[in-house]
C-alpha cells in the first residue's frame, strides 16, 4: 500500500459528556510496525457499548478513560492492505475480523490462555481508538481470516459471535445438551441460539419481552422455540417445549437484575447458568437457591484468543442466518442515526460501512 493520503475520516466522541458522535478528519495510521497489519475497515457493528459511550455512562467514565477525540467501534472487519515485518499468517487482500482485546501476553492469565481476563488489556474502541474509521493498524495475533464466501458486511459479527461461542464453551457438557434456555432476544441472544444449535442442543428456548416480538419471530424462523414473557405462561410453555419447566443449561444475555434471577430459576438442579449480559450495579441473588440445588453460576467475559478460529469456522456454516441479523447498513456519516435506532430498539444489528 502506498501511503499518499495522510488523512482519513472517522466517527469520534469529542469529550467526556453525552453528545452525538462527530465525523472528523484524523491522521491515517502510518506504516504498520513489526507484527502489525493495516486494515481497510469495511464493516463495524454498533452495539450497546457504543450507546453507553455515546451517553457517557458512569461505567464507561470509570472503566475506559480514553483520550479525546476518541474513535469507538470494537466490532469490526475489513481487508488487509499493508503488512509489517514479521507477519506470517496474513497477506495483502485477506478479509479479516479483529479481536479488539489487546492482551499483554505476559501476565498469569495470558500465560494460562485466559487473555479475556488479562488486567492489562486495552480494548480497541473502548480504552483506545477503534474501528469507526477508514483504516486501523492491528497486531497480527488479533487478526483472523474470515471464511470464504462471507459477505463483507457480515464480518463485524465475528466479535459478538465469539462472545456466544466462549459462553457456550464455559458451560458445555457433551452428555448434558438436551435443552438450553436463553434469556434475552437481542443480537447476542440470537447468536447464542445459533452457537447452541451448532453444538447439537436438541431443544433451545429463546425468551424475551413484548418489545422483542419481532426478534422472537426471527428466532423462531431460525428454529428456536420462543417465549414472550409479556404474553406467555413461562412454566407451561417450558414444559410443553422441553418436557419440564427447567432447562439443562441457561444463558443470561439480557444483563438485567430480573433476567439474572430468572436464569437461575430456569435451570435445573446441578445445571449451569452462563452470565453473559452485563448488569448495571449490584444484583441481589438468593444464594440458597444455588446452595440447595448445586446450580452453578458461571461468569463469561468476552472470549479467549483460541475462541476465534472456532468462530470463523462456525460463521462459514451459518451465513444465511447471519444475513437475517443485519437489519440496517449505513455509511459512516450516519453513525448517530445508527445510535438512535439502537436506543429506540428499532433494529437488531446496525452495521456501519466506512469504506
Query: What per-residue confidence (pLDDT) applies to 46?
Result: 98
pLDDT band at 1 (very low <50, low <70, confident <90, very high): very low
Mean pLDDT of 10-30: 97
Asked if 345 and 231 sit in the same domain, the reply is no
Closest CA to 295 of 318, 274, 316, 267: 267
Average of per-residue pLDDT values in the chain:
95
CATH number at residue 256: 3.40.50.720
Q: Which residues pair with 77 in a beta bridge?
A: 43, 97
Asked if 211 and 88 sit in the same domain, the reply is no
Domain assignment present for 156: no
Domain assignment present for 312: no
Tens of pLDDT, residues 48-59:
999 999 999 988
Closest CA to 129 of 73, 194, 212: 73
Helices marked H in the chain: 48-55, 58-63, 108-111, 158-171, 187-198, 213-221, 234-242, 257-266, 287-293, 308-317, 319-325, 335-343
Cell digits of residue 327 = 437489519
36 Cβ contact partners less than 8 Å away, ≥ 6 residues apart: 84, 87, 137, 138, 139, 140
Q: What is the DSSP string of 316-328?
A: HH-HHHHHHHEEE
Asked if 141 and 166 sit in the same domain, the reply is no
Domain assignment present for 64: yes
Q: Using the structure block, give the residue that is written with the C-alpha cell 412454566.
A: 235
Q: What is the rounded CA–CA span in Å between residue 50 and residue 194? A: 24
Global pTM reads 0.95
Asked if 180 and 286 sit in the same domain, the reply is yes
Q: Using the structure block, give the residue that is written with the C-alpha cell 448445586.
A: 294
Q: What is the rounded CA–CA span in Å between residue 301 and residue 189? A: 15
Asked if 244 and 193 sit in the same domain, the reply is yes
**Cβ-count burial 117-155 (b if 16+ within 10 Å, e if not):** bbeebbbbbbbebbbbbbbbbbbbebbbbbbeebebbbb
Mean pLDDT of 304-311: 98
Distances (CA, A) of 332 to 51, 124, 131, 190: 16, 18, 11, 26
Asked if 28 and 105 sit in the same domain, the reply is yes
Asked if 21 and 139 sit in the same domain, the reply is yes
Q: What is the rounded CA–CA span in Å between residue 328 and residue 290? A: 41
Burial of 299 (0-12, 13-18, 19+ CB in 10 A): exposed
Q: Is the pLDDT of residue 261 over 80?
A: yes
- Judge contact between 342 and 350, C-beta under 8 A: yes
Q: Using the structure block, give the residue that is written with the C-alpha cell 475506559.
A: 64
Q: Under DSSP, is residue 147 helix (H, G, I), strand (E, B) or coil?
A: coil
Domain assignment present for 155: no
Domain assignment present for 343: yes
Query: What per-residue confidence (pLDDT) applies to 59?
Result: 87
CATH number at residue 12: 3.90.180.10
Asked if 198 and 113 sit in the same domain, the reply is no
Distances (CA, A) of 256 to 27, 140, 144, 282: 40, 36, 32, 10
81 Cβ contact partners less than 8 Å away, ≥ 6 residues apart: 1, 38, 39, 40, 92, 135
Domain assignment present for 306: no
Tens of pLDDT, residues 95-146:
999 999 999 999 999 999 999 999 999 999 999 999 999 999 999 999 999 9
Cell digits of residue 86 = 514479521
Tens of pLDDT, residues 319-344:
999 999 999 999 999 999 999 999 99
- Judge contact between 46 and 351, C-beta under 8 A: yes
Q: Is the pLDDT of residue 311 over 70?
A: yes
Asked if 324 and 249 sit in the same domain, the reply is no
Domain assignment present for 39: yes
Asked if 107 and 199 sit in the same domain, the reply is no
Query: What per-residue confidence (pLDDT) applies to 173?
Result: 86
pLDDT band at 147 (very low <50, low <70, confident <90, very high): very high
The number of distinct structural domains making up the chain is 2
Asked if 61 and 124 sit in the same domain, the reply is yes
Q: What is the rounded CA–CA span in Å between residue 85 and residue 202? A: 48
171: containing domain: 162-299
Q: Under DSSP, is residue 90 helix (H, G, I), strand (E, B) or coil?
A: coil
Domain assignment present for 189: yes
Q: Which residues pair with 36 in a beta bridge?
A: 139
Asked if 127 and 12 sit in the same domain, the reply is yes
Amino acid at each position: 500500500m502506498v501511503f499518499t493520503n495522510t488523512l482519513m475520516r472517522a466517527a469520534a466522541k469529542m469529550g467526556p459528556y453525552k453528545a452525538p458522535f462527530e465525523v472528523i478528519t484524523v491522521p491515517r495510521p502510518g506504516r504498520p510496525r513489526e507484527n502489525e497489519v493495516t486494515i481497510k475497515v469495511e464493516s463495524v457493528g454498533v452495539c450497546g457499548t457504543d450507546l453507553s459511550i455515546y451517553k457517557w455512562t458512569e461505567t464507561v467514565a470509570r472503566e475506559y478513560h480514553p483520550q479525546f477525540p476518541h474513535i469507538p467501534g470494537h466490532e469490526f472487519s475489513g481487508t488487509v492492505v499493508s503488512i509489517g515485518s514479521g507477519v506470517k499468517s496474513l497477506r495483502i487482500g485477506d478479509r479479516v475480523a479483529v479481536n479488539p482485546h489487546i492482551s499483554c501476553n505476559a501476565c498469569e492469565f495470558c500465560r494460562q490462555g485466559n487473555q479475556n481476563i488479562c488486567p492489562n488489556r486495552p480494548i480497541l474502541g473502548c480504552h483506545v481508538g477503534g474501528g469507526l474509521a477508514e483504516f486501523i493498524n492491528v497486531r497480527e495475533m488479533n487478526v483472523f481470516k474470515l471464511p470464504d464466501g462471507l459477505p463483507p458486511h457480515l464480518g463485524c459479527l465475528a466479535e459478538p459471535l465469539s462472545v456466544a461461542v466462549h459462553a457456550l464453551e464455559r458451560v458445555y457438557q457433551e452428555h448434558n445438551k438436551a435443552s438450553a434456555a436463553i434469556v434475552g432476544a437481542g443480537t447476542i441472544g440470537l447468536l447464542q441460539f445459533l452457537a447452541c444449535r451448532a453444538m447439537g442442543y436438541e431443544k433451545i428456548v429463546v425468551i424475551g419481552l413484548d418489545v422483542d416480538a419481532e426478534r422472537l419471530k426471527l428466532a423462531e424462523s431460525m428454529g428456536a422455540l420462543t417465549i414472550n414473557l409479556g404474553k406467555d405462561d413461562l412454566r407451561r410453555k417450558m414444559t410443553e417445549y422441553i418436557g419440564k419447566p427447567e432447562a439443562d443449561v441457561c444463558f443470561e444475555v439480557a444483563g438485567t437484575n430480573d433476567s439474572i434471577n430468572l436464569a437461575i430459576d430456569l435451570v435445573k438442579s446441578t445445571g449451569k447458568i452462563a452470565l453473559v449480559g452485563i448488569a448495571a450495579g449490584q444484583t441481589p441473588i438468593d444464594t440458597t437457591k444455588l446452595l440447595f440445588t448445586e446450580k452453578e453460576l458461571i461468569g463469561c467475559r468476552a472470549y479467549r484468543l483460541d475462541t476465534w478460529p472456532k468462530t470463523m469456522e462456525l460463521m462459514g456454516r451459518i451465513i444465511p442466518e447471519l444475513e437475517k441479523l443485519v437489519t440496517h447498513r449505513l455509511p459512516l456519516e450516519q453513525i448517530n442515526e445508527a445510535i438512535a435506532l439502537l436506543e429506540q430498539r428499532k433494529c437488531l444489528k446496525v452495521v456501519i460501512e466506512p469504506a
